[in-house]
Every structure is written in structure tokens, then in C-alpha cells.
Amino acid sequence: MTIVRAPLVFVMLFVAVSGCDEGPRNAQPAVEGNPQAGAAAIASYGCGTCHMIPGIPGADATAGPPLGNYARRVYVAGVLPNTPDDLVRWIRHPQEVDPRTAMPELGVTEEEARDIAAYLYTRTGGRW
Amino acid sequence: MVTRIVSTLLVLTILSLVGAAVYVYSGVYDVAATRQHTPPVYWLLQTALRRSIAVRARDIETPDLSGPDRFRSGMRLYRERCAQCHGAPGVAPDRFSLGMTPVPPPIMQAGREMSPAEIFWTVKHGLKMTGMPGWDFKLTDEEIWDIVAFSIAVPNLSPAQYYELAGIEQNPPEPTQAEGADQASGDAEAGRVALLQYGCIACHTIDGVTGPDAWVGPPLRRMRERKYIAGVLPNSRENLIRWIRDPQGVDPLTAMPQLGVTEKHARDIAAYLYSLDDAGREMR
């Protein structure tokens, strides 16, 4: 029976091994914020009228870029490194960072921006 | 019973070996770098590569990589030997490397997602059949660790900060001249190939184009519906072409480098991106 089982073990091993996915390890974004409060802030500021955001009902717009899988993004808006502090800075004052951006200043507070960042970093996987 | 199973397995094994041999010798698989891999082959190669690196890097001990000296030395070495293929924030790789398959990963993503030990092992030993040379005989281990230190730090820099540290004058080359006027709509199929040949897939995940799981730039999907390009230009065919050819002329802060895309190729790329429907399929 061993001869029959050997390929099966190999297949199982292969599946197990290929299941481990890569992801950010060095610059794992860690942000002190509350993802649930972030989801609520995203809804109340209407981020979904411009962005597609996974897990936010109705957030399916394409004016700005899609915000899925944000933990793996290397840059915020193509201009800042994707670190928690820089993402918070961008959410609060996009036009200070890049005067050319179409993203408006929305008066988001520091705490709300941290919560929003925390939410975005929890939504991993998928292509968006 | 056991004999029957054994003989069935034997026949199946022989058949699959014969099948594999026919497949290989017939030359069916296209190795042209201008033709993308089929997704299963790409997946197989990438997974084998990733696993091989991970297993071999497991027992490497990482020294202290902090401190400005390591970073500075690493940046110097990186710019001399690595940036030609792997680029830097806002800086394109050299022209020759743009059509490589597999496309050399941008350091900004590799530095975020590979462990220091994995980067060390990869630089030291190189990777078969990828174009990545081993540096073992050309650099000392300490120098390789300096490159690792730079690689894991550089994803935390904005392009502007990087230019300053590297002492680079940000001076985007003039876009090449338009080649005739007969390019109203562009050729979507040629655009798909251009996305490989200009290395776009190194940074963007693009529907219908097989490439790495790249997250340096945004995924290029549903481009027909976007209101803005790169958050700064209203979305129109002409603006998309302008952005592809001269991103830093449009927004000096952007991490997207000047790639020397010709007018025709930019038009073809735009035609391809606009040809995709919501589900990422090409519309005819």
C-alpha cells in the first residue's frame, strides 16, 4: 500500500506548502486604530462615493483607485511610502502632500484617520 | 489487487513521461519573452522559486542591519549593481532590462515582502533562468548585508526623499517624438505585449496579463470607468497616453518612472486598458 500512498502524501504536502502565501513582513503595517470605528468613519465621510472599498456597502466607485489589499501596497497615492503614519497623513491632508491630487480635504480627525487606516490594513487578499 | 494497482501506476507514469517528452520536443511551449507565460506555468515557476528561496534562507542568521553606515554603503552598491534591473523609487530600470522575463521585481516591493535572510540568499546565490546573477564571487557577505539593509529601508522612503538621499537631480528625459499621426485608436493586442516589454507588470497587476502579484502601483482594472488617472488627470485617452509617457512631467512627486514609452506604444497600451470590461475580459 505504501506505493499507492506515496503520491498522495506528496500531493498533500505540495498543497500544504503552496498554501503559505507571501505578504509584507518587514514593513508590516501596524497602526493603533479601531478597524470597526474605521469602517463607520469610511461610511460617514462617504469615501465610497469615489473609491471601491471591500466590506463597505455601496463603496463601488471608480473615481479614485480601488482600496483593497492595502497592506500590500508599496505607495500611498503613488507619492508616499505606505507606512501607517504616511497613510494617516494622506487621509487627513492629501492636498498638502500632493497639491495636484483630485482627492479633497475632508476634515478627517487624527483618530478617525488612524481608525480608517486600521480598517484598510485589515482588508487583505483579492485583487482590489 | 496490489499488482494491478502497481501496473496501472506504472502505465500511467510511462504515459505521462511520454506525454511530457512529446510536449517538450515538439517545441509547443513558446519561450519568447514577448509572449506571456500561461498562468499555470507561471504559477509553477513562481512557487518553485519562492519555496526554494524560503527553504534555503531559513537558517541564515541576520546581523544588525540598522544604522546609517549600512544604508549608505548599501545604497552605493545597489545603485552600482542592482538598480539597472530593479529600479528605485521614481527611477526606472535601464532600458535593456525592461523586456526581461521574468521581470526583475522592483526593490520597493521585494524589500517589503522578502525577509532579510531571503534577500541575502538571493543576492549571494542568484536565481537560475531568471537573469539574476549570483554575487558571491563579486561581493563580500558584509557588502551583501549592506544591500539588504538598503533594500528593507527603501520602501519606507517617498520618491522625493530617495532623490535627496541619493543626490539625484530629478530630471525626467524628454518623451520621444511622436511617430506619425496615423494612430487614432491604437492596437490593443500590441498594447498587451507592450505592457510586458516596458515592464509595466513589475509594478501593476493588470487584467489579462500574466505577471507577478505586484502592488507597487495600483491594479489596472476598469480603466474605462475611472474618473482620474493617477489621481491628477481627468481620464481621457489623450491624458492616459500623456501619463504613460511622461508621468513625472505631470506629477513630479509620483513614484511612476519615465520609461521611454513611444507615442505609438502608449496609444496601444491605452487601447488595451480601455478594451477591458468590468470583469477584466477584453471586449471586441
Delimit the domains of chain B by residue range. Answer: 39-166, 188-275
| φ, ψ dihedrals at A76, nearest 5° | -95, 120
Q: Do B50 and A22 touch (CB under 8 A)?
A: yes
Q: Do A74 and B227 touch (CB under 8 A)?
A: no
Say whether B188-275 and B39-166 share the same fold.
no
B258/B244 Cα distance (integer angstroms): 8
**pLDDT surpassing 70 at residue A11:** no
Nearest Cα residue in chain A from B235: A63
3-state secondary structure (DSSP) of residue B276:
strand
B158/B170 Cα distance (integer angstroms): 13
Residue A13 confidence (pLDDT): 41
Beta pairing class for B228-229 and B233-234? antiparallel
ipTM: 0.86
A52/A62 Cα distance (integer angstroms): 6
B164/B93 Cα distance (integer angstroms): 19
Q: Tell me the average pLDDT across B128-134.
A: 95
Residue A10 confidence (pLDDT): 43
CA atoms within 13 A on the CB side of B47: 14
Select B188-275's CATH number: 3.90.120.10, 3.40.50.1980, 3.30.360.10, 2.60.40.420: 2.60.40.420
Nearest Cα residue in chain B from A15: B47
Q: Which CATH architecture has domain B39-166?
A: Orthogonal Bundle (1.10)
Average per-residue pLDDT for chain B: 91
3-state secondary structure (DSSP) of residue B34:
coil
Confidence band of A3 (pLDDT split at 50, 70, 90): very low
**pLDDT surpassing 90 at residue B20:** yes
Record the pTM.
0.86
CA distance A29 to chain B (A): 10
Interface mutation target, options A8, A62, A83, A87, chain B, most CBs of B under 10 Å: A62
Beta pairing class for A80-81 and A75-76? antiparallel
pLDDT tens-digit readout, B72-88: 999 999 999 999 999 99
- Rounding to the nearest 10 degrees, give the CA dihedral for residues B95, B97, B99, B100: 180
CB of B104 closer than 8 Å to CB of B147? no
B106/B181 Cα distance (integer angstroms): 34
CB of A46 closer than 8 Å to CB of A99? no
B12/B47 Cα distance (integer angstroms): 26
Sign of the alpha-carbon dihedral angle for B195, B199, B201, B203: negative
Q: Do B112 and A26 touch (CB under 8 A)?
A: yes
What is the percent of chain A with per-residue pLDDT over 70, rounded to a whole number? 73
Nearest Cα residue in chain A from B224: A62
Comparing CA positions, the residue from B211, B209, B224 lying closest to residue B271 is: B224
Q: Do B111 and A26 touch (CB under 8 A)?
A: yes
Nearest-Å Rg of the Cα atoms of chain A is 19
Residue A8 confidence (pLDDT): 43
Average per-residue pLDDT for chain A: 81
Nearest Cα residue in chain B from A128: B219
> Which triple of cell numbers denotes residue B26?
515538439
Please report the domains of chain A, with CATH numbers, ordered by start residue.
32-122 (1.10.760.10)
CA distance B235 to chain A (A): 9
pLDDT tens-digit readout, B96-105: 999 899 999 9
